[in-house]
Amino acid sequence: MNIFRYFSLLLIAASTFSYAESKVNFDKIFLELDRGVLAILDEHGAPGVAIGFVEGSKIVGYKFYGSADIKNQTVFDENTMFNIGSISKVATGWGVMQLVQDGKVDLDKPINSYLKRWKIPDSKFDSQLVTLRNVMSHTSGLSLGPVGGWDKPTDKSIVDFLNGDNNAGGDVKLILEPNTQFSYSGGGYAVIQLLIEDVSGQKFNEFMTSQVFLPLGMTSTTFEVNEELMRRSATPYDQEGKATSMIYFAATAAAGMHTTTHDLALFSSTLLKDDKGTFIGQKLLKEKWISEIMKPVAATGNRLSISYYIDEENESFGFAGYNRGWIALTRTIVSRNYGYAILTNSNISPITNEVDALILKTVNENSPR
């Protein structure tokens, strides 16, 4: 489920962002986090939060506060696993863009032409206008904002999900005129999951592991969540601070990614540059396609690219994810060439917002441009 209330939606032209050598004072950030985060957790009755920082191609460090499991008094480390909700969509975007780069999919051709096991059904709107570009940017007009899941691992297929067997809002269908407005659609990313499988001939998790996770060094990230994996994870807590169960998804591309602070910090570096001025994301895509990922989409009011929310004030790209028991946020500040990932084991909503605000305030006050 998306939580775009967690990100400023501000007008921007991506070309106005310029890269510079990072001069971020991380010691000051860590000091202010130590002074402030426990009070944030206490104020809202939240169990804990984990934060990972990157600068260029390097992980700078981690900060952990509170408990991974309150009852057993366990703490986080960089290998504790979390669900990251809708940030799954950003990773999926980096995956499917490789099919575009390889000439197997065109961003602007009808997406139905690539689907083999299911098609977007006819409606009063023209399904031929639904493309990968507008599905990725939530301007396709497809249904299902949040995607549903189950309290136990499911054997439902992605086709089952698309046909309405999804514990959510019914089948995926075209409900608005494509390319006319922003309308958040997790259902659209279920279509992308199907596309990746139908075009690549691989299972979705296999494709994402080989094409995205392993090239970036994300060795503890997966879309296949089971009970054994949950034993390596933090305990999720609901908005009241009570322990709750995991939600398992068929449409994993939309909400099912499970990862660690270490790996999500690495993923946050994809739009940063190394000492040679090369995008870290060029391990996955050529610069041409990374620029495409960063380009604002007019039908969103230029608030989103095809993969990210865009924040003009802080010259950054990011996304937030929300599922029962979990909230996560990533932010990549391209003008300062650093970024971070914030992961929580509860869906107590103010935590990621307030930690994010504390980091930004500290950087803006203590790090020269």
Predicted confidence (pLDDT) per residue in 288-346, tens digit: 999 999 999 999 999 999 999 999 999 999 999 999 999 999 999 999 999 999 999 99
In the block, which residue shows the tokens 């051709």? 109
Q: How many CB atoms lie within 10 A of CB 283?
A: 15
Coil, strand or helix at 44: helix
In the block, which residue shows the tokens 């399904």? 127
317 DSSP β-pair partners: 310, 332
Q: What is the CATH number of the domain that holds 246?
A: 3.40.710.10
pLDDT at position 192, please?
98
Q: How far is CA 325 from CA 67, 92, 196, 239, in A?
A: 14, 22, 28, 8
CB 292 within 8 A of CB 97: yes
Residue 11 CA, distance from chain mean position: 20
Query: Into how many domains does the chain fold?
Result: 1
pLDDT at position 21, please?
60
Coil, strand or helix at 6: helix
pLDDT at position 18, please?
56
Backbone angles phi, psi at 353, to 5 degrees: -60, -50
How far is residue 269's CA from residue 337's CA, in Å, rounded to a whole number? 9
Strand 309-311 to 316-323 pairing: antiparallel
pLDDT at position 262, please?
98
**DSSP assignment string, 291-339:** HHHHS--GGGTTSB-SS-EEETTTTEEEEEEEETTEEEEEEEETTTTEE
Low-confidence residues in the chain, pLDDT < 50? 1-16
In the block, which residue shows the tokens 């979705």? 204
Q: How far is CA 299 from CA 7, 36, 133, 139, 359, in A?
A: 18, 39, 11, 7, 31
CB 127 within 8 A of CB 234: no
Plot region of 138 (φ>0 → left; ψ -120 to 50 → alpha; else → beta)? left
CB 36 within 8 A of CB 322: no
- Look up the domain containing 110 and give its range: 4-366
Predicted confidence (pLDDT) per residue in 228-257, tens digit: 899 999 999 999 999 999 999 999 999 999
pLDDT at position 17, please?
53
